[in-house]
Amino acid sequence: MAPPTQPGKILTADEQKEAQLVGMLERLDSLHIGIKDLRTLIPRMTQPLTTAGTPPETYAALIKSVAEAKAEIQLFEDFMEKGGFAKLFDFATKRRREDPSGITPWDPTEHPDWYEHGRALQATYKEAFALANGRKGKPRQG
């Protein structure tokens, strides 16, 4: 979470930079959670094919799950476009070039609870995107 600030308090340059970096980390955390959610999309989408039912019922359930999957993908694409990730990745690339020492790849096995921890600290990327864009989780149509 971003460092708390008091209304009207003027932040030092270091405090502003820290707040900016914390905000970037929160957005990256949301992105990572969104990507992890998308990894289960195909199994969730094809789940209706594994249930017993009449062919018309199975087809209707499959069409519904495909539409839900499409909406989830669209929501993620919107989040990527409007989340400022291109600027964030450019910033990270620039910083790595300027000062490569001390930067090590993140190993998720060292933090097995990262996924649950991230969900506990902040809204999912869907909720964050909806809040940031004044919507209630509905992806754009099209």
Predicted confidence (pLDDT) per residue in 9-64, tens digit:
787 888 888 888 888 888 888 888 888 889 999 999 999 999 888 999 999 999 99
- What Cα–Cα distance (Å) separates residue 53 from each residue in 44, 59, 64? 17, 9, 15
Flag whether pLDDT at 103 surpasses 80: no
- What's the pLDDT score for residue 124? 55
Tell me how far apart the alpha carbons of residues 133 and 142 are, in angstroms, rounded to a whole number.
18
pTM for the whole structure: 0.60
Please choose, from the candidates 106, 38, 30, the residue with its C-alpha nearest in 3D space to the C-alpha of residue 71: 38
* Contact status, residue 1 vs residue 122, Cβ threshold 8 Å: yes
- What Cα–Cα distance (Å) separates residue 15 from each residue in 2, 12, 22, 34, 132? 11, 5, 10, 29, 23
pLDDT band, residue 139 (cuts 50/70/90): very low
The pLDDT tens digits of the residues spanning 122-135 come to 455 566 656 555 55
Write a three-state SS string for the chain. Answer: CCCCCCCCCCCCHHHHHHHHHHHHHHHHHHHHHHHHHHCCHHHHHHHHHHCCCCHHHHHHHHHHHHHHHHHHHHHHHHHHHHCCHHHHHHHHHHHHHHCCCCCCCCCHHHCCCHHHHHHHHCCCHHHHHHHHCCCCCCCCCC
Mean pLDDT of the chain: 78
Amino acid at 127: E
- What's the pLDDT score for residue 80? 86
Tell me how far apart the alpha carbons of residues 126 and 31 are, in angstroms, rounded to a whole number.
10
